[in-house]
């Protein structure tokens, strides 16, 4: 089995279990490849999450830097003693703005002997987190004039800047922006994209936002064009798009990317998908992979997935594995005989992606 995206409590505040505990579970499930990808530090006080605010703003920012430095050392130690599973060390880029993208490039160059790849992700629009809570998602919506179309426009344009500057090997949770789209009480103007929470609206132009949430990325042609532009660039530099199972544990009906984007990946980026659990806890390791495989086979009509490996020279290579091979893996026999311990409370989950 494979995962190209993971986190731990050792190096990010919203993690749940230690890196050692997570890797022990990875080994128990007999993963073939598991990638470590802690977040790059954020540089601006306004981008600190509530759980990261402990001291002065500058002290908190310095702590993020120390956590990342310790990750570089810790990941190498884990890799050196892990047998049976290939551990590949990377990082997840915080593409908050151009400054953070350039900082990620600096970190990648500084630690080039250790960091083999980047997961390129966008978690903010106009400096506001879009995957932390519905309240903050709505704040991001307000920052663009309560217009869903404009929110998607800003998100995919920032993603494009990140793709052009960084060229990440893997693009993380491509359509993360959809996580907190309101399920009830919100209406969208199908022409303008304006969002309202009033029921006194012109029914000819306004519909419940839930009516388009499943295909929102392809609902407006100009938004779909942005996605196609981004995918075309990913295809040009031979990047990969992850199918991220964390969407299921956060209550969505399909993984990232949903089918409205996933089918475009097939058409414009050669369907070069990798598998990720985006684990923050022991209980997240390999979680919902059965649903991901069904989605890949039944919805996207894939024959297989890609995965990363390192050759003897330490260079990264891209490989292909059939869905049939994945389905016959010993992983499935081991997955549901859970033997690990997690700090995750039953019914609770990690907030951030």
- C-alpha 272/C-alpha 304 separation (Å) is 9
- C-alpha 204/C-alpha 161 separation (Å) is 36
Mean pLDDT, residues 184-192: 95
Mean pLDDT, residues 59-80: 96
pLDDT for res 342: 57
Which range has the worst mean pLDDT, 202-211, 302-311, 335-344? 335-344
pLDDT for res 10: 81
Going through 162-261 in order, the beta strands assigned E by DSSP cover 170-171, 187-189, 195-196, 206-208, 240-244
pLDDT for res 350: 42
pLDDT for res 311: 96
| Average pLDDT score over the chain | 93
Has residue 340 got a pLDDT over 70? no
Has residue 35 got a pLDDT over 80? yes
Percent of the chain with pLDDT strictly greater than 70: 94
pLDDT for res 345: 46
- Kindly give the interhelix angle for 259-268 and 221-236, rounded to the nearest 10 degrees: 50
pLDDT for res 315: 95
Give, in degrees to the nearest 5, the angle at Cα 277 between 72 and 174. 90
Percent of the chain with pLDDT strictly greater than 90: 87
Mean pLDDT, residues 321-341: 85
pLDDT for res 337: 64
pLDDT for res 254: 98
Q: pLDDT tier at 339 (50, 70, 90 boundaries)?
A: low
- How do residues 241-272 score in pLDDT, each as one tens digit? 999 999 999 999 999 999 999 999 999 999 99
Has residue 13 got a pLDDT over 90? no
Mean pLDDT, residues 191-198: 94
Domains in the chain: ranges and CATH: 2-176+215-335 (3.20.20.140)
The residue ranking higher by pLDDT, 340 or 105, is 105
Ramachandran angles phi, psi of 112, nearest 5°:
-60, -25
Q: pLDDT tier at 343 (50, 70, 90 boundaries)?
A: low
What is the sign, positive or negative, of the torsion defined by CA atoms of 278, 283, 286, 289? negative
Residues 191 and 221 sit within 8 Å (Cβ to Cβ): no
Mean pLDDT, residues 95-108: 97
Ramachandran angles phi, psi of 173, nearest 5°:
20, 75
- How do residues 214-240 score in pLDDT, each as one tens digit? 999 999 999 999 999 999 999 999 999
pLDDT for res 49: 86
Q: pLDDT tier at 84 (50, 70, 90 boundaries)?
A: very high
- Establish how many alpha carbons lie within 13 A of residue 3's alpha carbon, considering only the half-sphere containing its beta carbon: 31
Has residue 346 got a pLDDT over 70? no
Has residue 200 got a pLDDT over 80? no
Strand partners, 86: 33
Q: Name the nearest CA neighbour of 86 among 28, 37, 29, 27.
A: 27
The residue ranking higher by pLDDT, 83 or 48, is 83
Q: Name the nearest CA neighbour of 65 among 91, 41, 33, 46.
A: 41
Has residue 145 got a pLDDT over 80? yes
Mean pLDDT, residues 334-339: 69
The residue ranking higher by pLDDT, 351 or 75, is 75
Mean pLDDT, residues 20-39: 97
Has residue 347 got a pLDDT over 50? no
Which range has the worst mean pLDDT, 79-93, 120-134, 192-206, 280-294? 192-206
The residue ranking higher by pLDDT, 141 or 205, is 141
């Amino acid at each position: 089995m494979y995962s190209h995206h993971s986190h731990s409590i050792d190096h990010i505040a919203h993690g749940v279990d230690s890196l050692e505990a997570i890797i022990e579970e990875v080994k128990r499930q007999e993963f073939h490849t598991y990638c470590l990808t802690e977040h790059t530090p954020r540089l601006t006080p306004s981008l600190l999450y509530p759980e990261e605010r402990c001291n002065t703003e500058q002290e908190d920012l310095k702590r993020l830097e120390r956590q990342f430095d310790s990750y570089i050392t810790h990941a190498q130690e884990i890799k050196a003693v892990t047998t049976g599973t290939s551990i590949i060390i990377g990082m997840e880029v915080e593409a908050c703005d151009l400054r953070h993208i350039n900082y990620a490039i600096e970190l990648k160059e500084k630690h080039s002997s250790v960091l083999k790849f980047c997961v390129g992700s966008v978690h903010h629009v106009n400096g506001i987190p879009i995957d932390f809570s519905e309240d903050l998602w709505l704040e991001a919506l307000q920052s663009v004039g309560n217009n869903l179309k404009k929110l998607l426009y800003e998100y995919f344009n920032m993603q494009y800047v990140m793709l052009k500057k960084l060229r990440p090997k893997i693009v993380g949770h491509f359509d993360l922006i959809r996580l907190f789209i309101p399920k009830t009480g919100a209406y969208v103007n199908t022409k303008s994209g304006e969002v309202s929470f009033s029921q006194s609206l012109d029914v000819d132009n306004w519909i419940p936002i839930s009516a388009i949430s499943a295909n929102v990325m392809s609902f407006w042609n100009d938004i779909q064009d942005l996605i196609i532009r981004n995918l075309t660039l990913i295809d040009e530099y031979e990047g990969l798009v992850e199918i991220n199972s964390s969407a299921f544990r956060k209550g969505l009906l399909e993984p990232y990317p949903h089918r409205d984007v996933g089918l475009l990946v097939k058409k414009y980026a050669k369907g070069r998908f990798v598998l990720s659990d985006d684990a923050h806890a022991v209980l997240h390791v390999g979680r919902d992979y059965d649903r991901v495989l069904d989605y890949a086979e039944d919805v996207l009509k894939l024959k297989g997935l890609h995965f990363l490996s390192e050759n003897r020279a330490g260079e990264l290579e891209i490989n292909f594995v059939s869905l049939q091979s994945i389905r016959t893996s010993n992983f499935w026999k081991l997955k549901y005989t859970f033997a690990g311990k997690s700090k995750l409370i039953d019914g609770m989950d990690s907030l951030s992606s």
